[in-house]
Amino acid sequence: MAHGTARLLDDARDGRAMVWVIAIMLFLTVLAAAMGLATRNAATALERSLAGRLTVQLTSGAPGVREAAGARLAARLRATPGVTRVTPVSRAALADLLRPWLGADSADPALPLPVMIDVDLADGALERVRAVVAQIAPGARIDAHATWMASVAGMLSLAMWLGAGLVGLMASATAMVVVLAARGGLEAHRATIEVMHMLGATDVQVARLFQRRIARDALVGGVIGGAAALALVAVIGARGAGLGSELLGGAGLGAGAWVTLVLLPFGFVLVAMAASRVAVTRALRRIL
């Protein structure tokens, strides 16, 4: 009986439209969620790689004096508790960094270049490093990598929250589409529903039939849209990993992120079922 009534309430044309609307919504939602998750991973990887890293620059004095002070400073820093790594930057490495701007002149021995020392720290060692630098090279400058990358980290955080906001908006839009589809189906089958009421069917039973139909359409559309989006995310991830970028490598999706993306279509089915049930129940109370 219920199965036959469900067929009476079905509309193949409306069902196809609903399937493709849900598919498009899920496609965009999964892409937005993947962007947010990848950005979160990139921000975490960036923060982890830059935490406790700094560069000491010696720019004052004659070249020989700077190099001697740099050698003494590097030796003292290696003996400082909490310093895990000290790496003086060679002149050749500095010349390579300047080559895009100076060309062959970057390798000129007469070119005045600062003495630079990369330092990795454990937690709580920054003040000790400042004290050592102030004692040996008072005019040196200390640049914390996390400080000058703060703007990048802020942009990544903004992109992450943007992705989360888009997922929320898509879920809300899907619920609204389901409500409109449920109300349209209710009006289209109003005569049938009146007969069902005369035969003893309750509002809850009628709403359950609409809920079942919409859940089926949402599931089919979710699988289509979700599968297409997951395939696209996998292709983009493979291309990004092949670039060899440390930042893009950190933006890769882990197992937990993939599980979240796979579960999104089923979450949207639940949203569609809840929205259709509420919409139909309220509409039935109002018009019948």
- % residues pLDDT > 90 (the chain): 0
Q: Can you state the percent helix, strand and coil of the chain, rounding each to 5?
A: 75, 10, 15
User: Rounded to whole angstroms, how far apart are CA atoms 107 and 97?
Assistant: 10
Helix intervals (H) in 85-202 = 91-102, 126-136, 145-148, 150-188, 190-198
Q: Which residues contact 273 (CB under 8 A, 6 or more apart)?
A: 211, 214, 215, 218
pLDDT exceeds 80 at position 15: no
pLDDT, position 240 = 65
Across 227-249, average pLDDT? 73
Across 14-34, average pLDDT? 82
Across 132-159, average pLDDT? 79
Q: What is the pLDDT of residues 175-194, one digit of tens each?
A: 888 777 777 766 666 666 66
pLDDT, position 4 = 46
Across 9-34, average pLDDT? 75
Across 51-67, average pLDDT? 82
pLDDT exceeds 50 at position 68: yes
pLDDT, position 245 = 54
Distances (CA, A) of 108 to 22, 60, 70, 112, 175: 64, 19, 21, 9, 67
Q: b/e per residue, 3-25, with b = 16+ CB within 10 A?
A: eebeeebebeeebebbbebbbeb
Cα four-point dihedral sign 75, 78, 79, 83: positive
- The domain ranges of the chain are 2-48+151-287, 60-139
pLDDT, position 26 = 87
130 versus 146: which is more confidently predicted?
130
If pLDDT is split at 50, 70 and 90, which confidence band does 6 have? very low
Residue type, 272: A
Q: What is the pLDDT of residues 118-137, one digit of tens each?
A: 888 887 678 888 888 888 88
Across 55-66, average pLDDT? 82
Across 251-259, average pLDDT? 77
28 versus 40: which is more confidently predicted?
28
pLDDT, position 5 = 45
Distances (CA, A) of 85 to 44, 118, 122: 22, 8, 10
If pLDDT is split at 50, 70 and 90, which confidence band does 196 have? low
Q: What is the pLDDT of residues 77-107, one digit of tens each?
A: 888 888 888 889 888 888 888 888 877 776 7
Burial zone of 124 (CB within 10 Å; 0-12 exposed, 13-18 middle, 19+ buried): exposed
82 versus 247: which is more confidently predicted?
82
Across 200-223, average pLDDT? 76
User: Rounded to whole angstroms, how far apart are CA atoms 177 and 168?
Assistant: 14
Burial zone of 235 (CB within 10 Å; 0-12 exposed, 13-18 middle, 19+ buried): exposed
User: Rounded to whole angstroms, how far apart are CA atoms 138 and 133?
Assistant: 6
pTM above 0.95, yes or no: no
Distances (CA, A) of 251 to 35, 146, 149, 160, 164: 9, 18, 16, 11, 16
